[in-house]
Structure 1
Amino acid sequence: MIPLLQAEALVKSWGGVRAVDEVSFTLAPGEMLALIGPNGAGKSTCFNLLNGQLQPDSGRVRLLGQDVTGLRPRAIWRLGVGRTFQVTATFGSMSVLDNVRMALLSHHRRLFGLWRPADQLMTREAEVLLSRVGMADQAARPSGVLAYGELKRLELAMALSNHPRLLLMDEPTAGMAPSERVALMARTAGIARDAGIAVLFTEHDMDVVFTHADRVLVLDRGRLIAAGAPEAVRADPLVRRIYLGGLADA
């Protein structure tokens, strides 16, 4: 079976420092894969290589067997890859509903060229997406007045607008209260598994990681030092020493 996502020996250097150093892994449809590691380990750089924000010095990225290395982010989006960011990216002066409608407009242009769906159709699609992320009652509010947890949910709705096969989530619960973190990731896991969406996410909250990830990858100084089932990674002596510390014994 061809993996949905395949990273092959990815390398990215800044000066003499390898931020990503021969990183390889695969991701299957419907799988929740966590990428964890200390600050500066190379997680965001790895995400940016996968999504086209950065070009690798060497190595390949494949989506369902297709080589997408070097494609720009908009081209990768059009192939069915959604993305959320550490710092939320929404249109603050626009309503929650119109933020999602903008993302849907991009999706429909990808499918049908210059064709634009009827306003009623696109509005209904946006309402469905907002309901899926628990924001149906926030549709009319300007996104600029939303609390941070609400912005994270809005960004998720926007990322889902192109019916992605792959969802990249860079610290999806950063800045959120513990109860919001649990709720967001539980909702994301449910959506992903129902639709067969593969999810690669970075996260510092180990409760989130070990509750929702099917597998865990651990980066340190750009290199993968461990990969496997959550409990196996939690028990790995090297991971405990470098990253988990006393949390692994809790």
Structure 2
Amino acid sequence: MTLEVRDLHKSFGGVQAVSGVSLSVAAGELLALIGPNGAGKSTCFNMLNGQLRPDRGSVKLRGQEITGLAPRRIWRMGVGRTFQITATFGSMTVLENVQMALLSHARRLYDIWNPVSKQDPARAMALLDRVGMAGQAARPCGVLAYGDLKRVELAVALANDPSLLLMDEPTAGMAPAERVALMELAARIAREGGIAVLFTEHDMDVVFAHADRILVLDRGKPIAEGLPAEVRRDARVREVYLGTGATHGYS
């Protein structure tokens, strides 16, 4: 199993943001983590990626404990991440953004100012070709359409050859057709490369079309888990999320 999470807990003051969350994701599998606003999805992601330390619980990557490690260490162990709001360097080209990620993974960030480091962009171009952005390699990220930025961010996330990819609302802010195309691309890359994917998403068409399994949270607690068809039929899921919308609290 690529990712194994057991009994995660996190509170902020008197608010229990996450309580008793357990999950697992296998190589090549896409698990969707869904729930109303305030369900605890982003808190879970931040604990898995090292931005937050759990109050209790265990996170293992390929059998190795990574609970509470710094984000940079988790990145180097093979965990890629994309964000709800894209995180790219707007003044740098598409190619340079991917090169930055590759240099960071190789612990050679100091080389970014060395022209020698740019003489062989083949690996960066291969990643851009993989996400359909090779034709825009020379353009600054600051002038790209939002959907194209999402593809660049995916290429950056793939730069450390991850075994696990965390995607936090990957299609947020995109047009419907772009959402479908991006998730089809991510799913194909994951399954061809044996990459485990955990993603959050509010577009239920995207979730039910691409997730192999779904875990539903409400107020920090798991309320359902299973195949998409099973979750869609679950009466409690329909009551707290699919049918009536959002609750309130931490996200």
- Class of the TM-score when normalised by the shorter of the 2 chains: over 0.9
User: 2-side partners of 1:23 and 1:225: how far apart?
Assistant: 10
Which residue of structure 1 aligns with residue 185 of structure 2? 187
Which residue of structure 1 aligns with residue 68 of structure 2? 70
Which residue of structure 2 aligns with residue 139 of structure 1? 137
Which residue of structure 1 aligns with residue 57 of structure 2? 59
Match runs of 1:203-222 below 5 Å: 203-222=201-220
Question: After superposition, what is the alpha-carbon deviation per residue over 1:39-85, rounded to whole angstroms, capped at 9, x for unaligned?
Answer: 11110000000000000011111111111011000000000000001
Match runs of 1:107-146 below 5 Å: 107-109=105-107, 119-121=118-120, 123-146=121-144
User: 2-side partners of 1:164 and 1:134: how far apart?
Assistant: 19
TM-score w.r.t. length of structure 2:
0.93
| Displacement after TM superposition at 1:137 (Å) | 1.2
User: 2-side partners of 1:92 and 1:177: how far apart?
Assistant: 21
Which residue of structure 2 aligns with residue 157 of structure 1? 155
1:91 equivalent in alignment to 2:89: yes
> Secondary structure at the residue paired with 1:161?
coil
1:234 equivalent in alignment to 2:227: no
Question: After superposition, what is the alpha-carbon deviation per residue over 1:99-145, rounded to whole angstroms, capped at 9, x for unaligned?
Answer: 000001112228xx99x985343x11111111111111111111011
> Secondary structure at the residue paired with 1:231?
helix
| Displacement after TM superposition at 1:246 (Å) | 7.5
User: 2-side partners of 1:159 and 1:34: how far apart?
Assistant: 18
Which stretches of structure 1, 4 residues or longer, exceed 4 Å deviation after superposition? none
Aligned residues with identical type, % of pairs: 69
Corresponding letter in the other structure for 2:118: D
Question: After superposition, what is the alpha-carbon deviation per residue over 1:24-48, rounded to whole angstroms, capped at 9, x for unaligned?
Answer: 1111111000000001111000000
CA root-mean-square deviation: 1.7
| Displacement after TM superposition at 1:148 (Å) | 1.1
Q: Which runs of 5+ in 1 are unaligned?
A: none
Q: Give the length in aligned residue pairs.
A: 241
User: 2-side partners of 1:138 and 1:223: how far apart?
Assistant: 43
TM-score w.r.t. length of structure 1:
0.93
| Displacement after TM superposition at 1:224 (Å) | 0.5
